[in-house]
Structure 1
């Protein structure tokens, strides 16, 4: 007697195909979010934002490298949380969407709490909104 793996069914093959398309769309969403975020960062810089922020820990400049790193890491974390929620519940996409909107809104709080020029504050808000405006629809639309 030999042990063989049964041939995948049409449903299994179709499901794998949809999952591959979803992964590609979500990866593209992260890349697109990065491009848009860096474009918004650059526009803010050209408009006069110096991106220096000061809090009780000291001063730091939010440069393009930091913006790139944070965008990619948060995109990957968001994708991981979405994938986990999709596996655990039927409403994973809805739960994730609400969670993502709350996270984007909460990301505005530190912008208000740090010392920065008005141009830097406005540019940082625009950068945060750009990430959310690209990633949320890109991840949710990738489901179909």
Structure 2
């Protein structure tokens, strides 16, 4: 598989992995994925899960392409930036309304981050 094809499919794979975790946690296990967003509660559903994974995956690919084109160590620089973004993103699930939601959302962030970082950075 070419690098371009693999990179094109990486965000789709990340979204599929996040949706699989969502499907196991919400419909099967009965977790309530609700997050407090500044006084407003928001439920994390499948559409939001897929959209977020796809958006971050394709944005990450765009940044990687720019860094590879304009810097000598683009992939290495991108990997460091991606790991930092993943670490910061782990603060988001801490606003969940219950422990189960926090754990599931942390798992989703880690899963999507792992798929995107390993899928895009690999040569």
TM-score, scaled relative to structure 2: 0.92
Map residues 121-136 of structure 1 onto 2, 5 A cutoff. 121-136=102-117
Q: Is the Cα contact below 8 Å between 1:49 and 1:120 reproduced in 2?
A: yes
Is 1:61 equivalent to 2:12 in the alignment?
no
> TM-score normalised to the size of structure 1?
0.79
The alignment's C-alpha RMSD in Å is 1.4
| Structure 1 unmatched ranges of 5 or more | 1-19
Question: Does 1:38 find its partner at 2:19?
Answer: yes
TM-superposed CA distance for 1:48, in Å, is 3.2
Which one of 28, 45, 52 corresponds to residue 9 of structure 2? Answer: 28
C-alpha distance in 1 between matches for 2:68 and 2:97: 39
- 1:37–1:115 CA distance, 2 compared to 1 (3 A): closer
Structure 1 segments of 4 or more deviating over 6 A? Answer: none
1:138 to 111, 116, 119: 119
Higher gyration radius (CA)? 1
Distance of 1:87 and 1:120 partners within structure 2: 40
